[in-house]
Structure 1
């Protein structure tokens, strides 16, 4: 009987200590002015590259393990970096128009992590809800974290977000005017 009472006391004491000292959850805000989001879009005759700015962002950790994240992108900052002058201005304007991202009526896009699985010491497979033009779809991608830096590469299918211009998914006989549906985002975050 004494052993069982002693076991009960130890269980209560250690259980109370565990409850009093849970693993700390920490939210690390992203330094938006030091972080970059680079895009690359492809067409039959080549590609274009550019940037877009983060409006806000944070990663959530439990100890040193990534458990969540949320980001807002300022879509009005779409910037083409592989062109200059009138060609650049024309493409930037077109990307902001209703043919593409409708930034006047949808000035932000959002990504909210819904599932995070560790795949290595500093690597994670993340599934999140990506919202573009008010349409939300799930997206899975890899994230690597090293100290105060995080990187990710995402492949986004624009046709899922009603971005139709030049898309072979919506229009026939585009020939060399076809713009591929998938574009890449390379994200470098500083926390």
Structure 2
């Protein structure tokens, strides 16, 4: 009887040894820069500007349909302005030291520090570090990830305070009485990461 019990315990242990790694297996999905996008929007008293920036690289690490980790890097030198006239002049200003200083800081990046599932529908609360102009700040935002076969797509709207990254041009925090020349501190990134195994 003792021998039978021992054999059953061994069988159970072996079974767990084979099933647990599979259930906890993390699969890395590499971001496809050609089909992934980052759209930016910034507002001021008299209107708003928007455009895009190209993704250099990134990854989504998944355990089945659960997001475990995520990261992406963008090429700030590819920044575009797409909202109307004067785009090249504005683009030049955004790439200058008043804003993103792309000559010295040609890339920006994000890496997760914690991911929490909100439900079983692919919605997550994501915490991580955003680095812009060489300055790293902890941020938190909601994201949605959809996995189908060999492809995984993560989307999120990320709201940032530009003054956290030493971008103070026409900020009400630092320059009072700007009137209609005020540029709001908060800007928005609409991120779509298309990744495959």
Q: TM over 0.5: same fold?
A: yes
What's 1:126 paired with?
A: 126
Q: Could you tell me which runs of 5 or more consecutive residues in structure 1 were left unpaired when the two chains were aligned.
A: none
C-alpha RMSD of the superposition: 1.7
Q: What is the total number of aligned residue pairs between the two structures? A: 189
2:108 maps to 109
Aligned partners of 1:59 and 1:122: how far apart in 2? 13
Is 2:158 the counterpart of 1:154? yes
Distance (Å, rounded) in 1 between the aligned partners of 2:57 and 2:21: 32
Residue in 2 that maps onto 1:135: 135
Contact 2:65 2:122 in 1 (8 A): no
TM-fit CA distance, 1:143: 1.0
Runs of 5+ consecutive residues of structure 2 not aligned to the other structure: none
SS in 1 for 2:145: strand
**Cα distance between partner residues in 1 of 2:91 and 2:135:** 22
Deviation at 1:20, TM superposition (A): 5.9
| Cα distance change, pair 115–83 in 1 and its aligned pair in 2 (3 A) | same
Of the structure 1 ranges 142-151 and 19-28, higher mean CA displacement relative to structure 2 is found in 19-28
Question: How much has 1:151 moved relative to structure 2?
Answer: 1.1
Correspondence 1:35-184 to 2 at 5 A? 35-84=36-85, 87-120=86-119, 121-147=121-147, 148-184=152-188
State the Cα distance separating 1:36 from its structure 2 match: 1.2
Q: What is the TM-score normalised by the length of structure 1?
A: 0.92
Q: Deviations over 1:85-120 (max 9, x none)?
A: xx1111000000000000000000010011101112
Q: Secondary structure at the match of 1:76?
A: helix
- SS at 2:78's partner residue? strand
Match of 1:29 in 2: 30
How far apart are the structure 2 equivalents of 1:149 and 1:14? 33
Distance 1:29 1:20, change over 3 A: closer
Deviations 1:107-155 (A, max 9, x none): 0001001110111221111011000001000111111122332211000
Task: Quote how far apart the aligned CAs of 1:172 are.
Answer: 1.5
SS at the partner of 1:80?
coil
